[in-house]
């Protein structure tokens, strides 16, 4: 399922959302300028490699300080390919602006970074001796998805689900979207324990980020005007259908 938009309007400029997107794009463009050897060294230095903290031999061989915790932060701004960065930043853009509008830029940034750090910690816990670098904003964005669903339980998400070559769009409640997405991460995460080393997705990072966002939004979000926001979300959810019916009525009366 690919989210395309949501029903929660926003008025403030999503500055932090834009800044995060800009930093990720800048880091990716810089990565593209590096030679293969320099790119590998760059990733080892700034991505999150669990073995850096649990395997002294690996740390010594790569000249990595085990006391340096910066990769827990820097790794969430790096990406491994065009589809990787495009998919992550698209989801951030779908859910980030409305959440930043309600939380305020400072609290939104705190939630984003805390979710990303929690994602990194849980990834290391479940991949203690892995020498494979973990990088990407998906852990932090998982926190945004969870926080959005809990802050706007009445919201709807427009979803694209490709069926063979046919793109199918449909609306679904944000809580249901987040719940299905989280369940998929848990199933894949449990599967990765049975088949360690299979695949290249940091499922437990997604789980850690999601749980952090779910918990933190209750402490960071100001009180909601539930009646007003529920009305706005419902009206926006119905907009595609009312527009279609108006067009059909106009066509019928011609």
Residue 237 has pLDDT above 60, yes or no: no
Residue 92 has pLDDT above 80, yes or no: yes
| Residue carrying the six token digits 């490699």 | 49
Residue 223 belongs to domain with CATH number = 1.20.1540.10
Q: Which two tokens stand for residue 99?
A: 């959440």
Say how many domains are in the chain. 1
**Residue 183 near residue 176 (C-beta atoms within 8 A):** no
Q: Which two tokens stand for residue 104?
A: 């305020």
Look over the chain and give the mean of its residue pLDDT values, rounded to a whole number: 88
- How many whole angstroms separate alpha carbon 126 and alpha carbon 92? 25
CA 132 → CA 48, 49, 52, 150, 198, distances in Å?
A: 8, 6, 10, 33, 11
| Residue carrying the six token digits 């944000």 | 174
Residue 232 has pLDDT above 60, yes or no: no
Per-residue pLDDT tens digits for 142-171: 999 999 999 998 899 999 888 877 888 889
Q: What is the mean pLDDT of residues 88-113?
A: 96
Query: Which residues constitute the domain of residue 102?
Result: 2-193+201-253
| Residue carrying the six token digits 């320099």 | 38
* 3-class secondary structure per residue, the chain: CEEEEECCCCCCCCHHHHHHHHHHHHHHHHHHCCCHHHHHHHHHHHCECCHHHHCHHHHHHCCCCCCCCCHHHHHHHCCCCHHHHHHHHHHHHHHHHHHHHHHCHHHHHHHHHHHHHHHHHHHHHHCCCCCCCECCCHHHHHHHHHHHHHHCCCCEEEEEEEECCEEEEEEEEHHHHHHHHHHHHHHHHHHHHHCCCCCCCCHHHHHHHHHHHHHHHHHHCCCCCHHHHHHHHHHHHHHHHHHHHHHHHHHHHC
What is the per-residue pLDDT for 224? 67
Per-residue pLDDT tens digits for 44-87: 999 999 999 999 899 998 888 889 999 999 999 999 999 999 99
Residue 226 has pLDDT above 50, yes or no: yes
Q: What is the mean pLDDT of residues 222-235?
A: 62
Share of the chain above pLDDT 70, in %: 86
What is the per-residue pLDDT for 165? 79
Per-residue pLDDT tens digits for 5-52: 998 999 999 999 999 999 999 999 999 999 999 999 999 999 999 999
- How many whole angstroms separate alpha carbon 242 and alpha carbon 234? 12
Residue 250 has pLDDT above 60, yes or no: no
Phi-psi region for residue 136, left (φ > 0), alpha (ψ -120 to 50) or beta? left
CA 168 → CA 125, 158, 240, 247, distances in Å?
A: 38, 10, 14, 20
């Amino acid at each position: 399922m690919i989210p395309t938009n949501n029903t929660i309007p926003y008025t403030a400029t999503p500055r932090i959302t834009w800044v995060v997107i800009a930093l990720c794009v800048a880091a990716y463009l810089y990565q593209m300028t590096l030679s293969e050897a320099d790119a590998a060294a760059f990733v080892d230095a700034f991505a999150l490699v669990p073995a850096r903290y649990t395997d002294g031999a690996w740390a010594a061989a790569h000249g990595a300080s085990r006391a340096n915790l910066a990769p827990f932060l820097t790794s969430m701004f790096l990406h491994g390919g065009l589809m990787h960065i495009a998919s992550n930043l698209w989801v951030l853009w779908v859910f980030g602006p409305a959440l930043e509008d309600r939380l305020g830029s400072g609290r939104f940034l705190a939630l984003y970074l805390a979710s990303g750090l929690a994602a990194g910690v849980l990834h290391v816990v479940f991949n203690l001796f892995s020498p494979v670098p973990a990088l990407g904003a998906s852990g932090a964005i998982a926190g945004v998805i969870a926080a959005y669903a809990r802050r706007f339980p009445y919201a709807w998400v427009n979803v694209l689900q490709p069926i063979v070559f046919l793109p199918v769009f449909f609306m679904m409640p944000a809580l249901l979207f987040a719940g299905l997405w989280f369940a998929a991460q848990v199933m894949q995460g449990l599967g990765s324990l049975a088949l360690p080393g299979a695949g290249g997705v940091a499922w437990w990072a997604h789980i850690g980020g999601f749980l952090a966002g779910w918990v933190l939004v209750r402490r960071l979000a100001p009180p909601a005007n539930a009646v007003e926001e529920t009305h706005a979300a419902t009206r926006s959810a119905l907009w595609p259908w009312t527009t279609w019916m108006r067009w059909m009525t106009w066509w019928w009366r011609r």
